[in-house]
Chain A
Amino acid sequence: MKKLFDKIYVTVLCCVLAALSVSIFILPDKSISEKENRALVQRPKVTVEKLFSGEYTSELGNYLADQFPFRDGFVGLKAYFELAQLKGENNGVIYTNSALINRRSIEDVRIEENLKSIEEFANNTSLPVTVAPIPCTVDVFSEYLPKSYPVSIDKALWETIYDASEARRFSLTDLYDSLCSSNAYYHTDHHYTVEGAYIAYKNLGDSLGYTPYDEDYFTKEWVADDFCGTAMRTSGFYLFPKDRIVLYRYSKDTEYTVIADGKSIPLYDFDKLKTTDKYAVFLGGNHARVDITDGSKQREKLLVIRDSFADSIAPFLALHYDLTLIDLRYFTDSVAQLSVKEGIDKVLVLESIEELSTSKNLSYLRMK
């Protein structure tokens, strides 16, 4: 009986392994992982040179890892196995009953250097500069974190930013209390919701010198209820309740001219709602440079040095300014020269606290 069981077990196992191995080469290769929002490695070309140098086998390993059948399912399975082992997180995302929270990554903190870069930019351009660090989900949902999570380290980061910003040639707008008390963040993503973007917009009014519109001015439009954010896609916790996306619309928001990296795009790209990365509904995703104008040429020009948090606040700021949004992850030309050449009136540095603390890209602001 035992021998029969062993035979069946080994046969089934061999069949499964053979089926998986053969299916890698039979099934068509996927070019993009929508869940992970990245391009997948394609089948490597065999050349004699690559074969003998070892490069081919290395490329083959990467190819097999990316094209493994039912990869997304296995990633999800692993995530829940981690939970079953009481680990509480997977791939740096902490699982709580309320939200999937990205663990803060604060290696190589360079707050002083980054604030110095911003100050140097302010000195070089003689423009008024406002810095607005945005809290992350680990700040907003801190009450749901496991008791063993080192909350004090995260709070210390904010204290460091406040202390390092004193007596600098820019003003710091503190959005921590208003955003953290609102809980207006997605539960499967690291961004704030449009409600959170509105709160940030309202609180920036004093610093930037505009009177924000009341919330009644906007019409709330529910455009998606199955948003799987970055935290879900990174972690594999695919069974977590998905998020809703609600836009704050107004009559003028279809009339702006929006140019992203030289191409005309809409303010809201509704085609992106059919993809996994629904956050790309705001400005169509990542761009090095986006210009939003109303065509009147009578408004002040606001330069926004930003990360992806600015995508959902842009429609609010566009009510008051012609905007130039620069993402220093991709735009590496002289922002100082751009500011002078294009007659920028004010500058807003709007980035997550993590980007502000650790990014090397802010060094590009020092290019004259």
Chain B
Amino acid sequence: MKKYICLVFAVIILLSATACNQKGEFKSDVTCEEILNSILAATECPQEDKIYVKSKGNLDTFGLSLWADGLFQECEELSLLSDYAIFTSAGTTTYEVAVLRANGIEAVPKLNDLIERRKETLSLGDKGMYDPQFNIRMSNSKQETVGEFVIFIVTDDNDAALKAIDQFKE
């Protein structure tokens, strides 16, 4: 009898551990723009500097290449984006938030590479001398992958940013 009870408990524990392993996905109808706006509100981001959003269609391959690599050339990753919302600096702040949605789970690693290139581009240009807080923000920056979404956050309160995006999870 004791053995059967132990076996039942072991199965329950095993099933519980399996359930714990699932990461929350975003709801299917959430947009990158909604996620971006919630992050900017939660982190009390300074007024708009420059925002690229799919609803305005204001990012082309050259714009994406300038953002990611600081080079004026075609950026093939644009074709991998089904949705995007990027808040970046036009000169009054060094905050940065990017919410990218891949057009398939297989494209997610390439978007993560894109963010890595953006980090490298951001670290050039002495932005730490423009804003002394920039180096600290960059060292605390967060990069999250949630399903098809890749999110990059450079703010003064990245924990608040991560909490803000929880509301969009299933």
Residues of A near any B CB (own CB < 8 A): 32, 37-39, 41-42, 59, 62, 117, 261-262, 285-289, 329-333, 359-361, 363-364, 366-367
The chain A residue sitting closest to B135, CB to CB, is A39
Q: Which residues of A contact B135 (CB under 8 A)?
A: 38-39
The chain A residue sitting closest to B92, CB to CB, is A261
B130 touches A332 (CB 8 A): no
**Does B57 reach chain A (CB closer than 8 Å)?**
no
The chain A residue sitting closest to B140, CB to CB, is A59
Q: Which residues of A contact B70 (CB under 8 A)?
A: 360-361, 363
**Does B109 reach chain A (CB closer than 8 Å)?**
no
Other A-B pairs beyond A42-B136, A331-B91, 11, CB < 8 Å? A39-B128, A41-B136, A261-B91, A261-B92, A287-B91, A288-B130, A332-B88, A363-B70, A366-B62, A366-B72, A367-B66
The chain B residue sitting closest to A263, CB to CB, is B92
A330 touches B125 (CB 8 A): yes
Q: Once bound together, how far apart are the Cα atoms of A262 and B47, in whole Å?
A: 12
The chain A residue sitting closest to B67, CB to CB, is A332
Q: Which of B40-66 contact A (CB under 8 A)?
A: 50, 62-63, 66
Q: Once bound together, how far apart are the Cα atoms of A288 and B88, in whole Å?
A: 14
Q: Which residues of A contact B91 (CB under 8 A)?
A: 261, 287-289, 330-333
A364 touching B66 in the complex, CB below 8 Å, given contacts A331-B91, A333-B50:
yes
**Does B127 reach chain A (CB closer than 8 Å)?**
yes
Q: List 15 A-B contacts (CB under 8 A).
A: A37-B129, A39-B128, A39-B134, A262-B92, A285-B129, A287-B91, A288-B91, A288-B130, A329-B125, A330-B130, A332-B66, A332-B88, A359-B125, A360-B70, A363-B66
Question: How many whole Å from A194's CB to the nearest CB in chain B?
Answer: 21
Contact partner, B139, options A62, A289, A360, Cβ 8 Å: A62
Q: Which residues of B contact A364 (CB under 8 A)?
A: 66
Q: Once bound together, how far apart are the Cα atoms of A262 and B121, in whole Å?
A: 25
**Does B113 reach chain A (CB closer than 8 Å)?**
no
Q: Which of B62-114 contact A (CB under 8 A)?
A: 62-63, 66, 69-72, 88-92
Question: How many whole Å from B120's CB to the nearest CB in chain A?
Answer: 11
Q: Once bound together, how far apart are the Cα atoms of A285 and B66, in whole Å?
A: 25
Q: Once bound together, how far apart are the Cα atoms of A366 and B61, in whole Å?
A: 13
A41 touches B124 (CB 8 A): no
**Does B133 reach chain A (CB closer than 8 Å)?**
yes
The chain B residue sitting closest to A120, CB to CB, is B72
Question: How many whole Å from A247's CB to the nearest CB in chain B?
Answer: 22
**Does B25 reach chain A (CB closer than 8 Å)?**
no
The chain B residue sitting closest to A31, CB to CB, is B132
Question: How many whole Å from A280's CB to the nearest CB in chain B?
Answer: 10
For chain B, the count of residues having a C-beta within 8 Å of the partner chain is 27
**Does B126 reach chain A (CB closer than 8 Å)?**
yes
Q: Which residues of B contact A359 (CB under 8 A)?
A: 125
A38 touching B72 in the complex, CB below 8 Å, given contacts A333-B50, A367-B63:
no
Question: How many whole Å from B124's CB to the nearest CB in chain A?
Answer: 7
Q: Once bound together, how far apart are the Cα atoms of A38 and B139, in whole Å?
A: 13
Q: Which residues of B contact A330 (CB under 8 A)?
A: 89, 91, 125, 127, 130
Q: Once bound together, how far apart are the Cα atoms of A289 and B130, in whole Å?
A: 11
Q: Which residues of B contact A288 (CB under 8 A)?
A: 89-92, 130
Question: How many whole Å from B105's CB to the nearest CB in chain A?
Answer: 24
Q: Which residues of A contact B125 (CB under 8 A)?
A: 329-330, 359, 361
Contact partner, B127, options A37, A261, A329, Cβ 8 Å: A329
B129 touches A286 (CB 8 A): yes
Q: Once bound together, how far apart are the Cα atoms of A42 and B91, in whole Å?
A: 25
Q: Once bound together, how far apart are the Cα atoms of A61 and B27, in whole Å?
A: 39
Q: Which residues of A contact B132 (CB under 8 A)?
A: 32, 38-39
Q: Which residues of A contact B129 (CB under 8 A)?
A: 37-38, 285-286
Question: How many whole Å from B67's CB to the nearest CB in chain A?
Answer: 8
Q: Which residues of B contact A289 (CB under 8 A)?
A: 91
Q: Once bound together, how far apart are the Cα atoms of A117 and B66, in whole Å?
A: 12
Q: Which residues of B contact A42 (CB under 8 A)?
A: 136
Q: Which residues of B contact A333 (CB under 8 A)?
A: 50, 90-91
Q: Once bound together, how far apart are the Cα atoms of A286 and B126, in whole Å?
A: 10
Question: How many whole Å from B156's CB to the nearest CB in chain A?
Answer: 12
Question: How many whole Å from A118's CB to the nearest CB in chain B?
Answer: 12
Question: How many whole Å from B58's CB to the nearest CB in chain A?
Answer: 11
3 closest residue pairs by CB, A with B: A288-B91, A360-B70, A329-B125
Instruction: Give the one of B91, B92, B139 with max A CB within 10 A.
Output: B91
A41 touching B139 in the complex, CB below 8 Å, given contacts A286-B126, A329-B126, A330-B127:
yes
The chain A residue sitting closest to B73, CB to CB, is A363
Q: Once bound together, how far apart are the Cα atoms of A177 and B127, in whole Å?
A: 32
Q: Which residues of B contact A37 (CB under 8 A)?
A: 129
Q: Once bound together, how far apart are the Cα atoms of A32 and B70, in whole Å?
A: 28
Q: Once bound together, how far apart are the Cα atoms of A332 and B122, in whole Å?
A: 12
Q: Which residues of B contact A286 (CB under 8 A)?
A: 126, 129-130
